[in-house]
Amino acid sequence: MVMQTEPDLLGVQHVDVDVCDRMEQSIDFRLQSRQSDLAWVDIKEGLTHWRIWLLLAYQDIKLRYRRSILGPFWITLSMAITVYSMGFLYGHLFRTDLNQYYPFLVAGMLAWAFISTVITEQTEAFIGAENYIKQIKLPYTLYIHRIVTKNIIIFFHNILVMLPIYFIFHESIKINFYTLLLIPGFLVLYFNAMTYGLILAMTCARYRDVSQLVKSLIQIVFFLTPVMWSPAVLPPNKQFLISLNPFYSFLELIRAPLLGVAPTFFHLAIVLGATILGAFFAMRLFVPHRSRIVYWL
């Protein structure tokens, strides 16, 4: 019988450890690949189930205004009263030309209402859909589509507020070729609403206090963003601070076409950078943590 020496035993143990490490790495790689595949399937099925999230979005609006005579057009009436009264008041407070200020404010408020509402509602996208998630097997991205679509429908109700502006201030703004840029602008906004909405929905499902924090911060961002005021009112040496606010660039994707002008290259560059960052972080969060969403609710 041949006895193994101590160095031989150490060698065998070393080989076994290497084999175990390789097996663990192989298992981790397979799990990561599996999670990535499931995440992409979720995104794909979320798009193919468009009839479901479109119906849910329509149903959300319908239930909110059921048994009322005007229905969803109460949203339009409320927006009209708000922007027209704000335009008259702040136009005189800022002592600016109403022909320029009224269209600027109304278009900006329409854009901000869409952006801010999407952000605040996405914080509760999964929390509000808890019953659906726990009872029906549907893609998680479907609930993000639902909120974005609902607010797009509301926006196109509110856009009727611009019609009197086009008629009254026809010398200042016109509907022209640049107005068509509203379509690609909304496509970009839709994509960003999906990526950042996914980040917010998952984060707020895990940490409930984040939802309240976001809702508080969005009110502060409103006053820091040129919605009611023009960047021209700032001193020239302070106007560069506006470039640090990405909300302004996203706002201009809607406001500029509504005013009949094209968004500047600077705003497009900021939006492109924010879009890439949003997509990157959304996938970094969604892929490994997708399976945990239901346990956070």
**pLDDT per residue over 41-80, tens digit each?**
889 998 999 999 999 998 888 887 776 666 667 778 888 8
Instruction: Give the gyration radius of the chain's Cα atoms.
Output: 25
How open is the CA angle 196-157-151, to the nearest 5 degrees? 15
Euclidean distance between CA atoms 103 and 214, whole angstroms: 29
Low-confidence residues in the chain, pLDDT < 70: 1-33, 67-72
Residue 67 C-alpha from the chain's centroid? 31
Which amino acid type is present at position 61? I
What's the pLDDT score for residue 145?
94
Whole-structure pTM value = 0.85
Cβ 118 vs Cβ 197: under 8 Å: yes
The packing angle between helices 265-289 and 246-258, to 10°, is 120
What's the pLDDT score for residue 9?
46
Q: Convert 199-234 to b/e letters by CB count within 10 Å (16 or more is b).
A: bbbbbbbbeeeebeebeeebeebeeebbbbbeeeee
Euclidean distance between CA atoms 57 and 47, whole angstroms: 14
Cβ 141 vs Cβ 43: under 8 Å: yes
Which amino acid type is present at position 91? G
